A and B are shown apart, each in its own frame.
Chain A
Amino acid sequence: MSGTQAVTATPVQLPKDTTAVGGPTRRRRGQQVGGKAPVWVRIVLALICLAWIVPTMGLVITSFRTQDAANSTGWWTVFTNPANADLTLGNYSEVFSKADMGTAFVNSLAITLPATIIPILIAAFAAYAFTFMVFPGRDLLLILIVGLLVVPTQVALVPLLRIYGSLGISGTFPAIWLAHIGFGMPLAVYIVRNYMATLPKEVIESAKIDGASHFQTFWRLILPMSTPVLASFAIFQFLWVWNDLLNALVFIGPGVNQPLPIALNQLLGNQGQGWQLLTAGGLFTMIVPIIVFLSLQRYFVRGLTAGSVKG
């Protein structure tokens, strides 16, 4: 079993080579080598791709148009009537000054980074115990964690709000860090443990014979060997927390600490300011996840297949 295969919730036949989007692929059918796809296949696929990209194009183009242009003519007129395109960078400075997206950006970073990095070590220790240690109740605890993967995190919100209210930490960063650490923990333990279960047992046995303690084995051997799955989880959790609106609304709420999704939602609710600001704010919110996605696609896909039960 390859590592990628092992971390899926239900077995998925993933040949190692194909874990990246369109990564190196073994061509299966002889007659298709060199892409002699029939014309209709190319046309249909091109149309689908166009349908997928055009909505985003509308947002990107509008974010560079002046207020008048954006609100009085369709963005596609940039192509049909380039003389009147009326392009500008001003929307981006306005998004900072009027909608305070700069602060929201910093807040997003301040929320996302700790909520991504802190759970990794905690999950790794737990996964090590599940994989390499024998103790009563192990299988039961593991099944509990698998079950919790499916449980919608909404079930936790009402009681947590009450606890946070009585502690007086609602609206602070630690409130949402801890929530994301708790909500992400079953998935993190689950995928890291499944990966560790595929590591060669002999390595651990020989470390034991050499007199290494569990702590040393974990620290010097297992943790470095698990880097790929830890990276996958990190990227997955990063995107999830960055894009999260529900928990941000519940635990942070609108105000000085609000992250990008809340700021963007306010732009959406406040369209008096016009499409040019909304679209610029949208692109500004998307840019970090898009960069993370494009540069780390391979890991992202692994994390995704691994985390395919988390929504």
Chain B
Amino acid sequence: MKYAFFLGCLIPARELNYEVSIRKVLPTFGVNLVEMKDANCCAPFSIQSLDYASWMALAARNLCIAEEMGLDILTLCNDCYESLLMVNTLLKEKKDLRDKVNETLSKVGKEFKGKTDVKHLVDVLHDDVGVKKVKNAIKAPFDGLRVGAQPGCHLTKPKRIHFEIIRGYRALDELVEATGAESVQFERREMCCGGPLRDIDDDLARQVSRQKLITLKNADVQSIVTICPFCYLQLDTGQLEVKRHFNEEYNLPVIHFIELLKMAIGMKLEDWEIKSHRIPIDNIIKGRV
């Protein structure tokens, strides 16, 4: 299984623990990550908000790079996923948009042909690798660990570019449960982490995150599992901000799904990886270091 590996901006800037685990774990499942040379930022919703035409052209440039490689794209971030998948879908469907974008892309010698597909880490692990293979690789299961798996917004929404919301949630739950942990359902699971409001209204962003933390705490989870670097940032670092502003302590450790899987297949997290979590993850790594 070979993919054009789309790393995005946030992960290399802030979450090297995510990147390291991806690069170590995925090859053990036969997933070959091929670097996308000179890929630009996916062009997230902030750029879409500024100017639709710029958003489409920049996302399409990345799609063209994958087309030239002859590979489907693997993304690790819900925002990259939404942006690339949405533009890929729109440009495949609508000739007038495709023509317009291709006119812009001709300035840089590129043309969107519609020959690649965009996949999220969850799609690749669940559909291409398969839950059975993941299950078979588990050597140190997290038996009895109650986790709240935060799907984030764009793993499943909007449904015009996905099959159905429930499919994405089920895929995530099955992967989490393959590690032996229990994927606990919590209220308003579909709700956003608040991340997109960072840089726009930090106060409101914190209020949205707080709601998420409350529903997770009410569900009595021992840990939050994320599959999006924005959710991770907002719930981990953001939890400290919530603590400061609301004087409330949730103490919910946040861990990337791939880190959970890494430990479950018998690999260890290094000291710096453990320390990169702002909310200590001691209760998850107990007996594993």
A interacts with B: no
On B, residues with C-beta under 8 Å from A are none
On A, residues with C-beta under 8 Å from B are none
